[in-house]
Every structure is written in C-alpha cells, then in structure tokens.
C-alpha cells in the first residue's frame, strides 16, 4: 500500500537536517530483521497502530520510544538504490489482520555487512 501527497505532508528534523514526507509505503512482512526476528509489517521504518487519523502531520507522530536502530541501507522498492539512512523504532506497534494479509514485502536481503546501531538516551542504556 502507498500514500502519495501532491506536495508534502509536513517535515521533521533529524540530526539538523529537514526531511519532507511526500510518500509512504507499507510492507508486510517487515523488510527488516533484528537478531533474526522479522516483524509482521513496516511503514517506512516505523510500525503503527490502525486507526482513523484524518490529515496527518509527521511532526505529530509519536515514536513511542526514544530507542531506535539506525543503519545505512537501500531503497526497498526498485531500483533499490543504496545510501538510504534507515531509522527503525525499537518499540513494535500493531496492525490489523486485514493489513497483515496484504503481504507485499520482498524477501529478506543480505545485510552486506552493514553496521546497525542502537540509539538511546543515556538514562535508558542498560
């Protein structure tokens, strides 16, 4: 499933850089795995709970956790261009059975020896 906006749907700042939301893809099952575990679905790296939201401003999206993984990867749709910064929320969200049933993800790809880093505020580190 994909959403695309005529312009953009707002923006967020990460590491002093502004990112504009112009398109969003959902994939089932997730195209990421952590410690060999593949979650049920992903939406551009963040899992969401199903609900009617109306107009969405990405600045208002709650991550649910300050812990997240980050790595350099590739686009998940052709041409699968390298050089994409993936940010994956550590906290898993839920989706409906109907959403999961769409199963539109490609198979897991080799990690190509990419380093995956867990980011967390100092007071949260175990």
Residue 71 has a CB neighbour count (10 Å cut-off) of 15
Is residue 19 predicted with pLDDT exceeding 70? yes
Per the CB < 8 A criterion, the answer to whether 94 and 49 are in contact is: yes
pLDDT of residue 14: 73
pLDDT of residue 82: 87
User: In 43-92, which ranges are continuous DSSP H helix?
Assistant: none
Residues 98, 13: Cα–Cα separation, whole Å: 33
pLDDT of residue 52: 46
Domain 2-124 of CATH type 3.40.50.300: no
Model pTM score:
0.47
The per-residue pLDDT of the chain, averaged, comes to 68
């Amino acid at each position: 499933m994909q959403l695309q906006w005529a312009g953009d749907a707002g923006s967020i700042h990460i590491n002093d850089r502004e990112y504009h939301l112009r398109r969003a893809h959902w994939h089932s099952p997730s195209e990421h795995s952590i410690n060999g575990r593949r979650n049920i679905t992903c939406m551009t790296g963040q899992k969401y709970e199903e609900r009617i939201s109306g107009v969405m401003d990405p600045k208002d999206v709650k991550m649910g956790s300050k812990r997240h993984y980050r790595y350099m990867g590739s686009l998940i749709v052709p041409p699968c261009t390298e050089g994409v910064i993936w940010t994956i929320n550590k906290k898993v969200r839920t989706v409906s059975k109907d959403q999961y049933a769409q199963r539109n993800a490609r198979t897991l790809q080799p990690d190509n020896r990419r380093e995956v880093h867990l980011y967390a505020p100092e007071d949260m580190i175990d």
